[in-house]
Structure 1
Amino acid sequence: MNKAPLSARLTVWALVALLATPILITLVYSLSAQWGAQILPRGFTLNWYQTLWSDGRFLAAFGRSLLVCAAALALSLALILPTLFMVFYHFPRLKGLMNLLVLLPFAVPPVVSSVGLLQLYAGGPLPLVGSPWILVFCYFALALPFMYRALANNLEAVNLPDLMDAAHLLGAGTTRAFLQVVLPNIRNGLLSALFLAFSFLFGEFVFANLLVGTRFETLQVYLYSQRTNSGHFTSAMVMSYFLFIGAATWLALRLQSRRA
């Protein structure tokens, strides 16, 4: 293997340092007892993390975010997998239309969408504003582009029609072929789609703040409400969020490598 030139290695390390510096500074600040006008912090402590993780309001907001994201992803998975299979196997001419439709959630800014949803669901027969259900449905729409694109790329790579024809020749029905042949071949893409969508939804703020706010306080709404609190405390919150996403990424990569 050819060794990378010095300029390439320096460029990579400079980029890594640029990305890592804000994270390291936030971590040090979250662990410092005091850090004001002086260059270095005055002592280190875990009190900010202890205060954070003993706060029942924070734990409840964290749990609500997990619940809403899990429900939205489960709904997305239940709808997008059969739809993708039907499009790629039975109606391949609809691929272009589907590519256009799944991008519609990003065509309208979240603030504009929120105002429209407030007008529609603040009252009437479906008063969903303020309830977790409106977040689940909004997050479902936001997750669709990530889920569709990742899974569509995998279905293109495995050549779905040939795979299904081979399964049929061996005596498998369509449902059995999908469950036992197609799904195992796209599981890495499925895992990537779920994690990518989860990472985006877990950090979503606009819909959560405008549509439910403190009536169903999620993690991002809680973070926003604590913006005037101690900087050490908010840094501990940011690092806890970052470490959780990092741990989820590591777990997803481990699972993906084991199943490859």
Structure 2
Amino acid sequence: MQNSNPIFHRIVVYTIVGLLLIPIIATLAYSLSTHWGATILPEGFTLSWYRELLTTPRFLAAFGRSLFICISALILSCVLILPAIFVIFYYFPKLDRLMNLLILLPFAVPPVVSSVGMLQIYADSSVSLIGTPWILIGTYFTIALPFMYRAIANAFTAINLRDLMDAAHLLGASTPRAFFLIVLPNLKKGLMASLFLAFSFLLGEFVFANMLVGTRFETLQIYLYSVRAESGHYTSALVMTYFIFIFLSTWLASRLGSKS
């Protein structure tokens, strides 16, 4: 069987990449333009929209709130999910099939339905959670669960967990000590991949943030929604800032993972 033409493969790949880059390039050009109306190209370029964005206290506060909620949810995920996956794979490996079904539940129920259910449950609760970041952190934890579990479970499968633990026990290490000093370093790539994948998804989440907290704890997506009609140039600068931040985070994760 003859090898297929590599030039054709390159043309297909470059065409797909080019089509994917068109909206990004257009958004970038619009965020840098002074005015872009009936002409094919912008009439002028400026950085004033980015300068205005980065000096707006409301944007900086919303961005900080989003980082706080996402990072808190991911820390909670690591604290709870890592030991749980270790126990499943080391002591009860047959439960992995059940967990693969359970982690799909956050995607089985639409976010709007989940939000309405939580509003009804916690609206009359003695502890006021609606409109606070704490309910959003708990909700984001459930959203991050599928990303975290699947990536970390794959990493556990790749490291041959039982052989590592048996070797550690033979050398006199206790189970907790072996978990922290031997297992966790071997999970670095899978853990970082799951963290940044979940982080990029959570940072762009809108439905839960809008329905559970809204403007009472304005996050980045709520801020973007509220200013979308003010200026297309300003909104484009906001979108590009968000995109560049996610891109740099992903690049940093890949670099750190490759060095592990």
- SS of residue in 2 equivalent to 1:84: helix
- 2:90 maps to which residue? 89
Q: Give how far 1:40 is off.
A: 1.2
In the aligned structure 2, how far is the partner of 1:77 from the partner of 1:250?
A: 21
Deviations 1:170-211 (A, max 9, x none): 111111111111111111000001001101000000000000
For the residues of structure 2 that align with 1:4 and 1:112, how far apart are their CA atoms? 50
What runs of 5+ residues in structure 2 fail to find an aligned partner?
none
Q: Which amino acid aligns with 1:57?
A: R
Q: Percent identity?
A: 65
Q: Which TM-score applies when normalising by structure 2?
A: 0.97
* C-alpha distance in 2 between matches for 1:65 and 1:77: 18
- Structure 1 residue matching 2:53: 3-state secondary structure: helix
One-letter amino acid of the structure 2 residue matched with residue 9 of structure 1: R
How well do the aligned residues superpose, as a CA RMSD in angstroms?
Answer: 1.2
Provide the residue aligned with 2:16 in structure 1. Answer: 15
Which residue is equivalent to 1:141?
142
| Residues 36, 207 of structure 1: alpha-carbon distance in 2 compared, 3 angstrom cutoff | same
1:177 maps to 2:178? yes
Quickly say closer, same or farther: Cα 1:3–1:176, change in 2 above 3 A.
farther
What is residue 226 of structure 2 aligned with on the other side? 225
| Counterpart-to-counterpart distance in 2, 1:212 and 1:241 | 21
Equivalent position of 2:117 in the other structure: 116
Is 1:64 aligned to 2:65, yes or no? Answer: yes
> Which whole-Å deviations, capped at 9, do the CAs of 1:117-163 have from their partners, x for residues lacking one?
11111222232110000000000000000000000001011111111
User: How many Å separate the matches in 2 of 1:66 and 1:4?
Assistant: 46
Secondary structure at the counterpart of residue 38 of structure 2? coil
Aligned partner letter, 1:49: Y
Secondary structure in structure 2 of the residue aligned to 1:80: helix
Query: What residue identity is the alignment partner of 1:246?
Result: F
Structure 1's consecutive aligned runs of 4 or more residues displaced over 4 angstroms after TM superposition are none
The total of aligned residue pairs comes to 258
Equivalent position of 1:127 in the other structure: 128
- Aligned equivalents of 2:123 and 2:213: distance in 1? 11
Corresponding residue for 2:257? 256
| Alpha-carbon displacement from aligned partner over 1:44-72 (angstroms, at most 9, x marks no partner) | 00010111111100000000000000100
Distance in 2 separating the partners of 1:120 and 1:204: 22
Q: Write the distance in 1 (CA, Å) between the matches of 2:5 and 2:132.
A: 54
Alpha carbons of structure 1 residues 4 and 125: separation in structure 2 relative to 1, 3 Å: farther
